[in-house]
Amino acid sequence: MDPARILLVEDDDRLAALVAEALRKAGYAVDCCGDGAEGEARLRAEAYDVVLLDGHLPGKDGFDVLRDVRRDFKGRIVMLTARDDDIDQVLGLEGGADDYITKPVAPRVLLARLKALLRRDVPAAPSEAGPAEAGDEMDFGPVQIRPAARELRVQGEAVELTTAEYELLLFLARRAGQVVSREDIMQGLRGLEFDGLDRAIDARVSRLRRKLGDDAHAPERIKTVRGQGYLFVP
């Protein structure tokens, strides 16, 4: 199997060299550039599994790159943000990033996050399966999920999802009618513990609601159960 291809877009040369070295030692194929416009051009011209994208770049801001490529780029987008910069984290997640990593990052943490992100499928245990097995179509009224084609349709119209959005949707749909905690989602999708502060799951749920046509203020399809987690309503 070919190694996953990663594009690192980071203008700090020293940091980029350290991160690229750690990734290559772990077996990934890594390309680097330090300019936002160049990074966008490479994403559109070549096939990458993951882009590690600094939020603040010369040439073109990283958040602008995220906005402009998210619809077309189906791989994983991870924003590299300044430590404890909540604004950067929110901008990245709301803009469609699959995850964010604060800088500087320990190599083992980075590799753990990437390994979790690159898991393409999330098989449900038989006892946890929802209304259908992995290969069957799931029908929730106006919402249809076709796992074999990795497809979502709402009112008969195909809806584009990123890989991370699709995996979260499938994870919740397979547990329709059950309240699923953030801890269970983080463990199931990433194999990581929830630290109580990570906003990636909440941001992804918000994007899913929009794409499902769910009311952001009074959602009917993906409900928030205060203090417990999320409920996908069959």
- CATH number reported for the structural domain that contains residue 13 in this entry: 3.40.50.2300
Where is the domain boundary, 65, 86, 117? 117
Range from 31-45, 81-95, 110-124 that averages highest in pLDDT? 31-45
Query: What pTM was estimated for this model as a whole?
Result: 0.63
**In which band, very low, low, confident or very high, does the pLDDT at 122 lie, cut at 50, 70 and 90?**
very low
Is the same domain home to 137 and 204? Answer: yes
Q: How many residues does the chain have?
A: 234
**In which band, very low, low, confident or very high, does the pLDDT at 86 lie, cut at 50, 70 and 90?**
low
Maximum pairwise Cα distance, the chain: 53
Where is the domain boundary, 95, 117, 139? 117
The pLDDT value recorded for residue 9 is 96
| Pairing between β-strand 151-154 and β-strand 143-146 as defined by DSSP bridges | antiparallel
Q: How far apart are CA 7 and CA 25, in angstroms?
A: 15
CA angle (107, 166, 52) in 5-degree steps: 30
Q: Which domain holds residue 100?
A: 5-117
**In which band, very low, low, confident or very high, does the pLDDT at 130 lie, cut at 50, 70 and 90?**
very low
Is the same domain home to 154 and 74? Answer: no
The pair of three-digit structure tokens given for residue 175, joined into one six-digit string: 């547990």
Share above pLDDT 90 across residues of the chain, in percent, rounded to a whole number: 46
Is the same domain home to 90 and 185? Answer: no
Long-range contacts of 103-110 (CB under 8 A, 24+ apart): 103/15, 104/15, 105/19, 105/80, 107/18, 107/19, 107/22, 110/19, 110/22, 110/23
Range from 27-41, 149-163, 172-186, 193-207 that averages highest in pLDDT? 27-41
Domain count of the chain? Answer: 2
Q: What is the pLDDT of residues 216-229, one digit of tens each?
A: 889 999 999 998 99
Q: Which of 60, 100, 108, 57 is nearest to 77 (CA)?
A: 100
Place of tokens 């990123």: 162
Q: Examine the pLDDT at 63 and tell me if it is beyond 80.
A: yes
Is the same domain home to 91 and 137? Answer: no
Rounded to the nearest integer, the mean pLDDT of the chain is 83
Single-letter amino acid code for the residue at 19: V
